[in-house]
Amino acid sequence: MFLSNSTDLNMFSLKNMPSTAAVFSAYTTLMAVGMVIQTMATQVKTIFSQIIPKQLQEKIISRLGRLFDNPSSTVLTLQIDQYNETSDRLNQIYEASEIYLRSKIDSKNPSSFERLLVSRSLQEKKLSVTMGKREELIDVFEGIELRWKCMSTKSDQSPGGPGRTERRSFELSFPKKHMATVLNTYLPDLESKSEALKEGNKAVKLYDHGGGRGSIRLHHPPSFETLAMDPVLKKQLKDDLDRFLSKREFYRRIGKPWKRGYLLYGPPGTGKSSLIAAIADYLKFHIYDLELTNLKSNSSLKNLLLSTANKSILVIEDIDCTVELQDRQELGTKNNGDSRLTLSGLLNFIDGLWSSSGDARIIIFTTNHKDRIDPALLRPGRMDMHIHMSYCTPSSFNQLASIYLDIANHRSFKYIEELITEVDVTPAEVAEELLKSDDPDVALVGLITFLQRKKMERNESHAEGGNEDKGQYNI
C-alpha cells in the first residue's frame, strides 16, 4: 500500500512538471521584464537628479532609508532647548547653535528651505536669518554627518519672560558611535565659532555712565586703518591688544583679574578720543564713558562700575582735572569712607571688586598733562601701557592725505612735511583743512596757507623777527 501510494505520487509529480521549453520561456520573460524595470529605474534616476535639487535629494533618500532601518539602534538625538528647565534662563548652547547655524544658512542655497526666520537686534549690524519650524540642515564635521532640526512647541508656562508661550529647541542627530566626538569636540568648536561670529556682527555702543544720557550706537567708528598714528606705535598697541585677548586662561590660571589699563596723554586734538573708538571697533567692546563730575561718593562709583558689562572699555577722560579727588589717606576714616568720592575709592574698585567681577575689562585714562596725575594711578597693573599722542608728523600727514584725499604722493608733500616739522599742529587740524575740498590741489594749498600762518604766529610769539618764511607756495 505504501509503495503503491509513493509510485502514484511520483507519477503525479512528473506528470505536472513543466516542460523545459516552458521553463525557458518563463525565464526569458522574467529577464525582459527585469531589463524594462532597470531601464525605467535609470530614467527615473536621471530625471530625479536633473529636476530635484541636491539638498532635497539627500533629504528624500535619508527619509526613505529610515523606513528600512531602525534609527533607534544606530542614531542618537540630542535635544537643545532654548531655555534651561530649572531656571528658565537662555541656554547658552542653544544660543551658540542658533548663531552657528545662521552662518550655514547664509552659505547654502535658500531654495533648500521652505521657511526662514529673519530678525535683527539693537546689538547687531546686519539681519539674522535662521531656520523656521521643522526645517532641517545637514552639517559635516570630521567626516561625521550631523542632522539639525528646528523644533517649536506650545507651552502653558512663559519661559524667558511674560507673554512667551513657545518653546523652541534644536534636535541634533548623529551616529551613536560618534557621541564622544560630538560632545567633546564638535560642540565646543561650535561655541568658539559662534562667539567669533557674534563679535563680528556686534555693533559697538557708547554708554554715558554718570551723565544720564543712556547709550548711542557708533555707526562709523574710526578704525586703526583710518587712524593717523605713528605706524610703529600703532603696531605695538595692536600687538598688545591681541596678546591681552589671548591670555584669558593665563589670567585665570594665575588668579589675576583679566584686565588691561592704558594711559593716553598729549595735547588736545592729537586723536585720543579717536584712538579709543578705534580700540573699541577693533575689539568689538562697548565703551563706558565715566563722568566723575556727576558722582558724589564711592558708593555711587561702586554701583556704576558693577553695572558695566564684560568685554567693555571704561574711559575716564581728563583724569587730572575732571574731579578734585580727595586725598587717598582719607578713605580710612569712618565719616568719609563712602560719603565722598576719593582717589582711594577709585583705585580700590579698579584693583579689586570691579576688575574681579567680570571678564576682559579695559580701562583707559586720558590727560593733556601727564605730570599732573597722581603717581598711584600710573603704576603697572593700573596703567600698563602709556601712549603718547603727539602733534602731527610727516608720517601721520601722509596717512591723512591717503585717507581724506586718496593720494599717496604730490609735488607739494615735501614742502608740507617741512612745515609740519617746524610748527605744532595736531592731526585734527590737518584733517579739518583737508576736508575743505575734494580737489587735492585746492585742499593742499589751503593746508599750506594754514601751516604758514601757524609758523608766522609762532615766530611772532618768540620774537624771532625776520626768521619766519612769509613766502607763498604755489602748486
Q: Is residue 64 part of a domain?
A: no
370 and 446 belong to one structural domain:
no
Residues 84 and 170 in one domain: yes
CA-to-CA distance for 292 and 209, rounded, in angstroms? Answer: 9
How far is the CA of 278 from the CAs of 130, 207, 274, in angstroms?
31, 16, 6
Structural domain contains residue 463: yes
Q: Tell me the pTM.
A: 0.59
169: Cβ contacts below 8 Å, ≥ 6 apart: 79, 80, 81, 82, 94, 150, 151, 152, 153
Based on the fold, state whether residues 183 and 137 are members of the same structural domain.
Answer: yes
264 shares a domain with 297 = yes
**Would you write out the chain's pLDDT as a tens digit for each of its 475 residues?**
444 454 454 544 545 556 666 656 766 777 777 676 777 766 666 666 667 666 566 566 656 555 555 544 689 999 999 887 766 678 889 988 888 888 887 655 555 677 777 766 655 566 667 777 778 888 999 999 999 998 887 765 555 454 456 778 999 999 999 999 999 999 999 988 887 777 666 666 776 655 445 555 565 677 888 888 888 899 999 999 999 988 888 888 887 888 888 999 999 888 898 999 999 888 888 888 887 777 777 777 777 777 777 788 988 888 876 555 544 444 344 444 556 777 777 777 777 655 555 678 888 999 988 888 888 778 777 788 999 999 999 999 999 999 999 999 999 999 999 999 999 999 989 999 999 999 999 999 999 999 999 998 888 877 555 554 545 555 5
Domain assignment present for residue 65? The answer is: no
Domain closes at, from 358, 388, 418: 388
pLDDT score for 364: 92
Domain coverage including residue 143: 72-200
Q: Is residue 91 within 8 Å of 35, Cβ to Cβ? A: no
The DSSP annotation for 237-292 comes to HHHHHHHHHTTHHHHHHHT---EEEEEEESSTTSSHHHHHHHHHHHHT-EEEEE-G
Whether 474 is covered by a domain: the verdict is: no
Q: Are residues 415 and 457 in the same domain?
A: yes
C-alpha cell at 400: 591723512
**Per-residue pLDDT at 135:** 84
User: What's the total number of domains in the chain?
Assistant: 4
Do residues 172 and 237 share a domain? no
Is there a single domain that holds both residue 252 and residue 362? yes
DSSP E strand stretches across 69-222:
75-81, 116-119, 128-131, 136-141, 144-154, 166-175, 205-209, 215-217
Angle between the N-to-C axes of helices 413-422 and 394-405, in degrees from 0 to 180, rounded to the nearest 10:
130
**Residues 368 and 446 both lie in one domain:** no
CA distance 118 to 108: 16
Last residue of a domain, one of 200, 216, 243: 200
Compute CA distances 225 → 58, 231, 279, 374, 475, whole Å. 45, 10, 11, 34, 29
At 212 the pLDDT is 47
- Asked if residue 321 and residue 342 are part of one domain, the reply reads yes
DSSP state, residue 203: P
Check which CATH number belongs to the domain holding 220 and give it: 3.40.50.300
The grid coordinates listed for 260 are: 588691561
User: Is 56 inside a domain boundary?
Assistant: no
Same domain, yes or no: 330 and 237:
yes
Q: 108 and 192 in one domain?
A: yes
Q: Is residue 60 part of a domain?
A: no
**Boundary-marking domain end, from 145, 177, 200:** 200
- Is residue 473 a part of any domain in this protein? no
Verify that 272 and 212 share a domain, yes or no.
yes
Q: Is residue 67 part of a domain?
A: no
